[in-house]
Structure 1
Amino acid sequence: MITFCLAILTTLSLVTAPIAGAASDVAGPVLVSSTVTPKSLNIATGPATVKVTLRLTDQTGASEPVVTLGNDATGQSQGFGAMTLISGTAKDGTWERSMTIPQGSATGPWNVTLYPLSDTLGNDSTGFQTLATLNVTATPALAPAPTPTVSGTTKVGRTLTAVPGTWSPAPVTLSYQWYRSGVAITAATMSTYKLTATDSGKTITVRVTGRRSGYTTASRTSAPTAAITAGTLTAPTPTISGTTKVGCTLTAALGTWAPSPVTLSYQ
């Protein structure tokens, strides 16, 4: 009789033993954050790839999330599939998947869609979610743009000139922006720039931007110049004119000082 009761107790304890996590986890995974890069893709010369990254948390552990790319206007879709856990765990981890839109696909808006999330216990959370809307274009690009250079003497008062190189296919409209140690110089948007006292000790770069209708815009920045040094005045020896007699007036003949403007004082 005692043996029989022990057997019953043992059986009951096995039947009623809780499954780890089953009683407390009744919710699906939580989407903590998501990033989609880039948001603009150009498929004029080849396929373009977008990367989707998610962070999910779940008490028991999230199942592999599923994403896809789709163009609602045409019904085209690409990249459907499960994401890969790249860091952390299924309970708190970062998931990633790259998807490619082939050259020749429809242009316009493409949506990155996240399928409903679930965990290993079968708990679901959320419905379909649009993580981002991509702008897909097929705009031809300008030929690889040359790196501009800067010519001129790197002294205060001298003028630097941007040498943009040859941009194609012509005609390409070029614009300029000069920088002082990486900071844009206000109103310095011509192909030349006259150095000022503020530039002393700093380096100068120029960014050239090329534009042509129907083509993507491109920008290139020159290498920095050497640090700008103080300028050198052209200082001629003055002469004195006038009658050298008491009561007469003498006048200083200054000559031409450069670069102008130069403030002169006398003793």
Structure 2
Amino acid sequence: MTIKNIALAGHAGTGKTTLMEALLYQGGCTERMGSVAAGTTVSDYTPEEIKRHSSVCTATGSIQLDGLKVNLLDTPGMFDFAGGMIQGISAADCVMITVSGKSGVRVGTKKAYRAAAGKPRMFVVTKLDDENANFYNVLTDLKSTFGPSVCPVVVPVIVDRKVDSYINLIEMKAYRYDADGKAQEIPMPTSEVSEKLSYRVDGLIQAFSEAIAETDETLFEKFFSGEEFTQKERVDGIHKGMRDGTITPVACASAQMMEGIDLLCKEMELLVPAAD
């Protein structure tokens, strides 16, 4: 069985523990979603963590995805317990850095990114259900802070300042979620619809394709000849870019609403390199 060890890191309060709770629930490891506020999550179980509503030490959990075992390490975000974050990252093959869709890049984001140097990294923009969340402002913030390696792979479609649906750029498919967090595939936004959105979908696809083209000479030639990449070529390009540090994928989710969690599981399965 293939095993992938993924650390969740980032600034305190960006939703690492809630994201892990959602992943465990999505993976069928728990029968219900726990709550940080209620002190009922799998990873924040000590009296001190329940009192603080925050992780104090690194906790572990695992899920299985089509013959793949993913070990998750929920690391502390508070600076007082930075040693736990560093230990968790050192034990991981890949680091998933959570960034609040409301507050964007913070000091803890940069600390986690630096601590994960030399390992494949990806960002997850969280809390998209918050009325003040703005994924595209955060994406711009990530690009200006961490450079051209930042590459969106799952993006939200925003209508009237709320998330209407999510686009998986790997599959080139769009999904809308019901109140129970179940996804239903819907048509991709048309050019006319895209022009009314806060961020044009065709521009995102262009940037995504350019990032993949940079990972391989054959893909580079195919891109500039105007051909579209296959899904396998997209996966292979992102996978290679994560390994050599030229691509840092950006996904997004609302863990509280279970939106985008299934897509994140797909990214972990397809994109994140396994242990050597």
TM-score by length of 2: 0.18
Please state which structure has a larger fraction of its residues in strand: 1
TM-score by length of 1: 0.18
